[in-house]
């Protein structure tokens, strides 16, 4: 599809390779309204709304955040070229037009009159500078992978790169226009541009990156008042914001919780307005308890655990067989029913059912099905090649609702495989992420993925491509398979959606064989809100639509 006029870019989000087809992935409609509740009568426009959150792993920089503790804050401080509505359709923020004749060469024009909250105008140079900074390996940005498709990325992405080096595929034409050349035709490129890593950065960032990360200056619907680490981040309305996400409230307060049970109880009492995840102890009762304030709807998320490809117990042919045996020994259906009470459904591939490209019949997907006899056979075959040193450990963060299902998996492995298996608790999500990204963790470790943009390739590239491993992305298990990488590029360059999805499914056959990550279940939004607020809705990516929530008068 050629994108020539700005009116066509919204169509691309639905009809290109990133088309969204929301389908049930566990649970039912809960509150009955797909997650929208309360009155349309407004409420108090000056009141601050409170949300639960985890402590951001890194300083608040758009190109250096890939976990929701930071992204949830940054997405409200910044506006990029596009944002996504509740269904995942791209809507214009700063984009005036995105034009291309061949899906490889793009001319992007931004709207005039936008400013950062320090008064500086937002120009094309701010986008180009931010993207070059994010891509340059010397800067150590965790979102480097997202710029891989731009021409010149390979020359600047190494850790020993000249920190001033820039990508040849980015050219500033004038204050409002820049050009992007990709390494190949990629029709879903415009759809990606609503992700936070593609936001502009002001010159103030480059003058003091460390200080900026503690007090960022954005151009979005809100601006930061204060960030009290391990406590909260308080945002107020940006009066100069002119985009489609116009706040209906007076600000947002992201409150850090170590215990999801405490967050849930605070929501019930009214001291927390919105909670984005119901703890397991309340999964069977929250819909009755909250009524119309209970939220249950499909979302583009998946839970899995990873095992580093160089872990001695899981390398070579024995390691591949052992990963398959472990996957076969997990009774996903029982865990989904008894622990999550139908709010999750067993994984059948690596792609959420909420995104086009998901399948239940990819060759090799039987490895995700519970089979005690086959699990034992595969384990014994692996043992004949290389004995297991063990024990099996599955690391998780104690400030999430994970202990119960981790213990269920470990108990299942003990019973089916006859091995020692145990959970390994980290005190909080930040410490787990630091061990994961720092490659100091051993054994298996919990992970989940919430799509950055609505495309099956966002579930494949950032998690399993070689570039995402080398570029400090989210491939924390360092899976590097040239055949898989080649399929990704071929699928992204496909001229039709049907062909693109077919190639993406074919690439998953390799993942189902190697299992760098072991899919567990597809998540639905299971959330709720207090009687203190109205106009609560959760979007395609499982996050609240923050700007539209209002406090009751």
> What is the fold, at CATH topology level, of the domain defined by 6-254+526-551?
D-Maltodextrin-Binding Protein; domain 2 (3.40.190)
Mean pLDDT (the chain, rounded): 89
Per the model's pLDDT, the better-predicted residue between 150 and 399 turns out to be 150
> Please, are residues 280 and 264 in contact by the beta-carbon 8 Å criterion?
no
E-strand stretches of 381-482: 392-397, 421-426, 444-450
pLDDT of 9 over the 60 cut: no
pLDDT over 70 at 30, yes or no: no
Q: Which two tokens stand for residue 241?
A: 């914001």
Domain with CATH 3.40.190.10 in the chain: 6-254+526-551
pLDDT of residue 14: 28
What's the length of the chain? 553
The answer to whether 277 and 401 have CB atoms below 8 angstroms apart is yes
pLDDT, tens only, 39-94: 344 567 889 999 999 999 899 999 999 888 999 999 999 999 999 988 888 899 99
Using an 8 Å Cβ cutoff, are 327 and 321 in contact?
Answer: no
Domain with CATH 3.10.105.10 in the chain: 301-524
Q: Is 182 helix (H, G, I), strand (E, B) or coil?
A: strand
Q: What is the DSSP string of 236-288?
A: EE-TT--SS---SSSEEEEEE-S-HHHHHHHHHHTSSSEESS--GGGTTTHHH
Query: Would you state the pLDDT for residue 486?
Result: 94
**Predicted confidence (pLDDT) at residue 22 exceeds the cutoff of 80:** no
Q: Is the pLDDT of residue 27 over 80?
A: no
- Angle at alpha carbon of residue 467, lines to 466 and 472, rounded to 5°: 110
- Supply the pLDDT for residue 1: 26
CATH number of 301-524: 3.10.105.10
Separation CA 313–CA 291 (nearest Å) = 48
DSSP secondary structure string for all residues of 455-509: -THHHHHHHH-HHHHHTTSS-TT----HHHHHHHHHHHT-SSHHHHHHHHHHHHH
> pLDDT digit string (tens) for 122-140?
999 999 999 999 999 999 8
pLDDT at 34 over 60: no
**Rounded average pLDDT over 429-455:** 90
Q: How far apart are CA 349 and CA 344, in angstroms?
A: 14
pLDDT in tens, 288-303: 999 999 998 888 899 9
Mean pLDDT over 104-119 rounds to 97
Greater pLDDT, 371 or 493: 371
3-class secondary structure per residue, 215-243: CCCCCCCEEEEEEECCCEEEEEECCCCCC
> Looking at per-residue confidence, does 156 or 283 come out higher?
156
Confidence check: pLDDT of 204 > 80: yes
Q: Enumerate the H helices of 81-231 as residue ranges.
A: 124-135, 153-156, 189-192, 203-207, 209-214
At 489 the pLDDT is 87
What are the pLDDT digits (tens) for 333-347? Answer: 999 999 988 889 999
13 — pLDDT class (breaks 50, 70, 90): very low
């Amino acid at each position: 599809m050629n994108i020539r006029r700005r009116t066509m870019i919204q169509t691309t989000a639905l009809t290109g390779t990133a088309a969204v087809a929301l389908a049930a992935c566990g649970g039912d409609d809960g509150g009955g309204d797909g997650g929208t509740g309360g009155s349309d009568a407004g409420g108090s426009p000056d009141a601050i709304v409170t949300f639960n959150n985890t402590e951001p792993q890194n300083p608040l920089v758009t190109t250096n955040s890939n976990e929701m503790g930071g992204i949830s804050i940054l997405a409200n401080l910044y506006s990029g070229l596009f944002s996504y509505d509740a269904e995942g359709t791209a809507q214009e923020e700063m984009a005036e037009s995105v034009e291309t004749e061949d899906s490889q060469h793009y001319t992007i024009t931004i709207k005039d009159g936008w400013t950062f909250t320090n008064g500086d105008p937002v120009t094309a140079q701010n986008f180009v500078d931010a993207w070059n900074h994010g891509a340059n390996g010397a800067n150590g940005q965790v979102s480097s992978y997202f710029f891989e498709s731009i021409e010149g990325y390979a020359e600047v992405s190494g850790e020993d790169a000249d920190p001033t080096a820039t990508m040849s595929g980015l050219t500033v034409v004038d204050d409002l226009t820049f050009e992007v050349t990709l390494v190949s035709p990629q029709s879903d490129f415009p759809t990606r541009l609503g992700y936070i890593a593609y936001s502009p950065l002001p010159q103030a960032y480059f003058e003091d990156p460390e200080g900026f990360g503690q007090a960022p200056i954005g151009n979005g619907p809100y601006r930061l008042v204060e960030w009290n680490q391990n406590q909260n981040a308080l945002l107020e309305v940006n009066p100069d914001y002119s985009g489609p996400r116009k706040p209906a409230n007076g600000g947002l307060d992201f409150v850090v919780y170590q215990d999801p049970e405490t967050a849930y109880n605070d929501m019930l009492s009214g001291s927390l307005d919105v909670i984005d995840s119901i703890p397991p102890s309340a999964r069977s009762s929250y819909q009755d308890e909250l009524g119309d304030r209970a939220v249950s709807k499909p979302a583009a998320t998946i839970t899995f655990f990873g095992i580093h490809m160089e872990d001695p117990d899981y390398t070579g042919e024995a390691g591949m067989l052992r990963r398959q045996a472990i996957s076969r020994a997990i009774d996903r259906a029982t865990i989904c029913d008894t622990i999550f009470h139908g709010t999750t459904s067993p994984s059948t591939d690596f792609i959420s059912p909420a995104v086009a490209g998901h399948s239940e019949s990819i060759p090799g997907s039987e490895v995700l099905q519970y089979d005690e006899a086959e699990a034992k056979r595969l384990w014994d075959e692996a043992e004949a090649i290389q004995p297991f040193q063990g024990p099996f450990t599955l690391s998780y963060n104690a400030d999430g609702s994970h202990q119960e299902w981790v213990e269920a998996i470990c108990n299942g492995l003990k019973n089916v495989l006859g091995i020692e298996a145990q959970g390994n608790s980290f005190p909080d999500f930040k410490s787990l992420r630091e061990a994961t990204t720092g490659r100091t963790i051993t054994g298996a470790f919990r992970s989940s993925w919430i799509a950055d943009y609505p495309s099956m390739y966002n579930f494949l590239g950032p998690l399993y491509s070689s570039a995402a491993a080398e570029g400090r992305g989210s491939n924390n298990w360092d899976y590097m398979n040239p055949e898989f990488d080649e399929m990704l590029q071929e699928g992204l360059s496909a001229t039709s959606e049907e062909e693109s999805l077919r190639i993406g499914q074919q690439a998953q056959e390799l993942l189902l064989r190697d299992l760098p990550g072991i899919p567990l279940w597809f998540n639905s939004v299971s959330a709720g809100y207090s009687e203190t607020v109205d106009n609560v809705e959760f979007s395609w990516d499982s996050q609240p639509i923050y700007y539209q929530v209002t406090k009751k008068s």
